[in-house]
């Protein structure tokens, strides 16, 4: 009796699992989401980006390169298994969020800071943080300044439409110092204002300032002060309410982080295809059940890593040591090595 009962319960549990998986797969296929439907119909993903070498900029052949660009190509691999089915368009800080809301982009990979106002009031959804940044200050070395508090009475350039305007005001209010803001809408005038002496300092995300410093006529004449005025978690932004598109963005980013956690790179990934570790089999699609259950190509993570590499490879190639930006991993290191990057389980 007990044996028959256990057998019946086991069959019921198995049926429940299969039914749940079937419903999940069917739900994703039947309600793929407006953004994904439009992308598949169009045959290309539209991505809004900025203009900072190392993060997003055309090379000498006009091909976009950079850390955020690689994540755009990773998205195209997840959806189309083709890194070229993505269209990058540069957009200013003032234009990017309205353009996303108007449907000009499917996703912003332009160094947008996730904030509570942008989530609640403006209704955008954000994917995982791609780059942990903080607002910095760029000054001329000749001023002999070593910290932000030394800028009492200074004229400081800031870009409109960014969180930087409020952060610099908070910084001087907190320190009891004074400053005169000069707000720029045209990003081309931003660095020129510092070089010409129109402003004493520039403030913006430190990654952006480091990139702009490389574009100066004499980069060694400028120094990025050690102060970080704010937290700037830079994440993919999409229009709110499209759950399936958000999940694709999420798990595309997580795939690069998970690969680094597992020690899988673009160079050694094929060696892992024969791994007996079930978590690696699921992650790489050797066991196709996970990909089939969520409605994606079971090998989407394999295809991403094989083509653009894991997070560490993407970071090192674009902004890490040996590049003109020469960034330490810092907070952008995986959690096991003291950073903040962490992927939920692929199961």
Maximal CA-CA distance, the chain: 89
Question: What pLDDT score does 32 carry?
Answer: 57
Summary mean pLDDT of the chain: 89
Which tens digit of pLDDT belongs to each residue from 101-142? 999 999 999 989 999 999 999 999 999 999 999 999 999 999
Domains parsed from the chain with CATH numbers: 34-132+235-337 (3.40.190.10), 134-231 (3.40.190.10)
Task: Residue 255: name the closest of 330, 323, 307, 320 by CA.
Answer: 307
CA 149/CA 227 separation, integer angstroms? 9
Two tokens, residue 199: 């402003």
Question: What pLDDT score does 27 carry?
Answer: 40
Two tokens, residue 323: 């590049």
Q: Say if residue 247's pLDDT is above 90.
A: yes
Confidence of residue 162 (pLDDT cuts 50, 70, 90): confident
Task: Residue 148: name the closest of 186, 95, 81, 200 by CA.
Answer: 200
Question: What pLDDT score does 189 carry?
Answer: 86
CA 113/CA 133 separation, integer angstroms? 9
Q: Say if residue 65's pLDDT is above 60.
A: yes
Question: What pLDDT score does 51 carry?
Answer: 87
Question: What pLDDT score does 248 carry?
Answer: 96
| Residues 49/92, Cβ–Cβ less than 8 Å | no
Tokens 């309205």, residue located: 98
Question: What pLDDT score does 231 carry?
Answer: 92
Tokens 């798990």, residue located: 251
Q: Which carries the bigger pLDDT value, residue 116 or residue 23?
A: 116
Cα-flanking dihedrals φ and ψ of residue 109, to 5°? -120, 55
Kind of pairing, strands 201-205 and 154-159?
A: parallel
| Residues 228/135, Cβ–Cβ less than 8 Å | yes
124 C-beta neighbours (distance < 10 Å), count: 22
Question: What pLDDT score does 4 carry?
Answer: 43
Q: Of 10-19, 86-95, 294-303, give the lowest mean pLDDT range.
A: 10-19
Which tens digit of pLDDT belongs to each residue from 176-187? 999 999 998 876
Q: Say if residue 277's pLDDT is above 90.
A: yes
């Amino acid at each position: 009796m007990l044996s028959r009962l256990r057998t019946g319960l086991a069959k019921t549990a198995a049926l429940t699992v299969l039914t749940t998986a079937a419903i999940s797969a069917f739900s994703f296929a039947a309600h793929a989401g407006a953004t994904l439907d439009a992308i598949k119909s169009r045959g290309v993903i539209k991505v809004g980006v900025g203009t900072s070498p190392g993060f997003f900029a055309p090379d000498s052949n006009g091909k976009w390169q950079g850390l955020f660009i690689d994540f755009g190509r990773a998205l195209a691999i997840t959806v189309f298994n083709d890194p070229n089915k993505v269209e990058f368009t540069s957009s200013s800080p003032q234009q990017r969020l309205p353009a996303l809301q108007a449907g000009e982009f499917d996703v912003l990979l332009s160094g947008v800071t996730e904030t509570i106002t942008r989530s609640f009031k403006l209704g955008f959804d954000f994917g995982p943080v791609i780059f942990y940044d903080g607002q910095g200050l760029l000054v001329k070395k000749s001023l002999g300044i070593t910290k932000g508090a030394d800028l009492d009475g200074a004229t400081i350039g800031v870009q409109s439409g960014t969180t930087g305007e409020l952060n610099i005001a908070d910084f001087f209010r907190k320190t009891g110092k004074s400053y005169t803001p000069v707000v720029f809408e045209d990003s081309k005038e931003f660095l020129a204002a510092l070089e010409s002496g129109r402003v004493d300092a520039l403030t913006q995300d430190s990654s952006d300032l480091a990139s702009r410093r490389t574009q100066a006529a004499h980069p060694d004449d400028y120094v990025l002060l050690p102060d970080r005025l704010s937290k700037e978690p830079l994440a993919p932004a999409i229009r709110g309410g499209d759950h399936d598109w958000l999940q694709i963005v999420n798990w595309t980013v997580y795939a690069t982080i998970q690969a680094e956690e597992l020690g899988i790179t673009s160079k050694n990934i094929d060696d892992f295809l024969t791994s007996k570790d079930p978590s690696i089999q699921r992650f790489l699609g050797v066991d196709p059940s996970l990909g089939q259950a969520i409605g994606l190509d079971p090998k989407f993570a394999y295809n991403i890593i094989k083509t653009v590499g894991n997070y560490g490879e993407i970071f090192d190639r674009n902004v890490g040591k040996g590049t003109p930006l020469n960034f330490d991993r810092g907070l952008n290191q995986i959690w096991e090595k003291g950073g903040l990057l962490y992927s939920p389980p692929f199961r």
